[in-house]
Structure 1
Amino acid sequence: MALPWRFSVEGVSVAIRVTPRGGQDAVDGIETLANGRSVLKVRVRAIAEGGEANRAVIELLAKALRVPKSSVRVMSGTTSRLKQIAIDGEPRKLGDALQNLTEKKEL
């Protein structure tokens, strides 16, 4: 299975699929979509209105990866469930943290 993140000089870029009003804030692992693309599944309690879900995703990923919220930003898909998130930091460290976060949750 392909990983949903790519490394860059600045950090990593992660493809995610967000479920707003998902009952809790959680990372649910890696999922392969019908088109073969791998995404990181994320659920947030926030509603998808006024950018609330995007803010919740940023907070969740920052906390889970132990980086400042200012290091996490939505690159594309601000109004879509499928988003591309950029996380600034040391790429290898971020990749290891993402691997640990999803290790036992692959779907």
Structure 2
Amino acid sequence: MRLFVRLTPKSSVERIDGWDQDEKGRRFLKVRVRAAPIEGRANEALIAFLAKSLKLPKSRLSLVVGDTARLKQIEIDGLDESELTGLLP
């Protein structure tokens, strides 16, 4: 499944701020990480944080779209939307 995420780097705390919608009606998860957006560190921190939150190995998550953008698409292998909703706030 694909998960849309709006990432906020350089936060004082790593956390999930809940769900929101963009102007096109796409639902996305708001996530904050401590890492700076330098050389992909924030993206790596996002994958690690989501994997830990979902209790999945990092190898099952990959960044598909949005390497340098705030809105990203994460591919999660072996997880459907109903399972995701049960695991995240």
Same-fold call, TM cutoff 0.5 = yes
1:57 CA displacement? 0.4
Change beyond 3 A, Cα 1:57–1:51: same
3-state SS of 2:88 partner: helix
Rg larger in 1 or in 2?
Answer: 1
Question: What are the Cα deviations for residues 31-56 of structure 1, in whole angstroms up to 9, with x where unaligned?
Answer: 12233322100000000110000000
Task: State the aligned residue count.
Answer: 89
Q: Distance in 1 between matches of 2:54 and 2:19?
A: 16
Report the identity percentage. Answer: 42
Structure 2: tracts of 5 or more residues without a match: none
User: Counterpart in 2 of 1:36?
Assistant: 25
Q: Distance in 2 between matches of 1:43 and 1:70?
A: 21
Structure 1: tracts of 5 or more residues without a match: 1-11, 103-107
Q: Is the 8 A contact 2:16 2:29 kept in 1?
A: yes
TM-score, normalising length from structure 1? 0.75
TM-score, normalising length from structure 2? 0.89
User: Counterpart in 2 of 1:58?
Assistant: 47
Q: Distance in 2 between matches of 1:24 and 1:98?
A: 22
Q: Distance in 2 between matches of 1:90 and 1:32?
A: 21
